Amino acid sequence: MFKRKILSTMNRLKLFRLFEQRSRRRLRVLMYHRFSEDAHPLRISSAEFERHLKYLKTNARVITIDEAIDGLKGTRPLPDFSTVITIDDGYRDSYEIAYPLLKKYGLPATMYAVSSFLEGKIWLWTDKTRFILEQTTLDRYETFIVGKKISARLSDHASRLNAAAALNDTLKRMRNDDKEKALEKIANDLSVAVPERPPAEYSGFSSREASEMAENGITIGSHTVSHPLMDKINASEQEKEAIDSRRRLEELIGRDVWHFCYPNGSFDRGARTAVEKAGYRSAVSSDFGQCMPGDEIDILRRIPAEADTLAFLQNFTGLEEFKRSIRSRYRTRSAL
């Protein structure tokens, strides 16, 4: 059994190398969110992140987002195996865990910050759900959202995280105002008082820390003012989120902000127009895949950075994208 596992792993590694070479001229934009010191079901541990960085240091050419955009536009060469590291949201663990390791390996990255979150004024709304379900003393909850009944047992930490994930998936389909009302209802139903500002577990890095990172190889980009899904707000709100976040971040860190990230990767034509009006050089989505010259640089695809090494390699090398394209073709033919 052990020998079969070793052979299977070796064969996978050969396949990874084949696809890595096949896609060497494409740009990989890696997407991270949260980090932890130890293993965590929803975060990349420091050990896992360091393994990723060691691999990238040896097998990729990690470049800045500006170098990547120039390469995609054809104004400078795009080296083989070009890779951009992106980290969304601006949580404190990005500064405390990810940043020291990036410095250790001398690798640049882009961190997309929510301006009001950076100032400590707001929660990221997805965390409110997690906080409520962690704090409630009830062992079961049941609620109705947009006419849909949602219920779950809250027996342990894992079940509470799963329940929060299910709730967030439903909330993401709602208009922003309706979502905020639903969050208030959930908190009331579960008898949890949500503090005005997030506790340390859910807080962001500060403007001073953002400035420090910007001086040491980290590009600070915008992730809106308040982290709404950009396709769930109206045109004037889209413009405000895109324009005001850029202006405020520039005031806070004393540097130009040229790059944008759509919360949850969600965008529509209005969101893209707002990003263009705000004057950004690029914007990233969470659509899966590698990038190449000629791609629209205001909706760049990204690759989720999985904690598991084999899953990380499958995504990074292009094997997963190839598998998805095959499955898509098969479904299309089956539908004919």
- Range in 9-23, 61-75, 103-117, 188-202 the model is least confident about: 9-23
| pLDDT beyond 80 at 80 | yes
Question: Which tokens hold the place of 192?
Answer: 């949890």
- Buried residues in 21-42 as b, exposed as e (16+ CB within 10 A): eebeebbbbbbbbbbbeeeeee
Question: Which tokens hold the place of 116?
Answer: 């009001």
Question: Which tokens hold the place of 241?
Answer: 């989120």
Measuring CA to CA, which residue among 58, 104, 100 is closest to residue 83? 58
Within the chain, strands assigned E span 28-32, 35-36, 44-45, 61-62, 82-89, 109-113, 140-145, 148-153, 218-222, 259-261, 282-288, 300-304
Task: Read off the pLDDT of each residue in 303-307 and give the average, rounded to a whole number.
Answer: 94
* Dmax (CA) of the chain: 61
- In Å, how far from its chain's centre is CA 168? 15
| pLDDT beyond 70 at 13 | no
More confident residue, 91 or 41: 91
Are residues 125 and 232 in contact, defined by beta-carbon separation less than 8 angstroms?
A: no
Determine the CATH number of domain 2-119+204-335. 3.20.20.370
| Interstrand relation of 300-304 and 282-288 (parallel, antiparallel or unpaired) | parallel
CA-based torsion, 218, 261, 304, 122: positive or negative: positive
- Range in 125-134, 245-254, 288-297, 326-335 the model is least confident about: 326-335
- Output the pLDDT for position 2: 40
More confident residue, 131 or 320: 131
More confident residue, 228 or 329: 228
Domain spans, the chain? 2-119+204-335, 125-189
- Range in 46-50, 248-252, 314-318, 321-325 the model is least confident about: 321-325
Q: How far apart are CA 76 and CA 277, in angstroms?
A: 25
| pLDDT beyond 80 at 293 | yes
pLDDT tens-digit readout, 90-123: 999 999 999 999 999 999 999 999 999 999 999 9
Where does residue 305 rank: exposed (0-12), middle (13-18), buried (19+ CB within 10 A)? buried
Q: Which residue, chain included where needed, has tokens 């400078």?
A: 76
- Of the chain, the percentage scoring pLDDT greater than 90 comes to 77
Are residues 80 and 61 in contact, defined by beta-carbon separation less than 8 angstroms?
A: yes
Q: How far apart are CA 193 and CA 173, in angstroms?
A: 24
Confidence category of residue 334, pLDDT binned at 50, 70, 90: low
- 26 CB-near residues (< 8 Å, 6+ apart): 82, 290, 291, 292, 318
Confidence category of residue 328, pLDDT binned at 50, 70, 90: low
Within 27-153, strands assigned E span 28-32, 35-36, 44-45, 61-62, 82-89, 109-113, 140-145, 148-153
Are residues 62 and 28 in contact, defined by beta-carbon separation less than 8 angstroms?
A: no
- 193 CB-near residues (< 8 Å, 6+ apart): 187
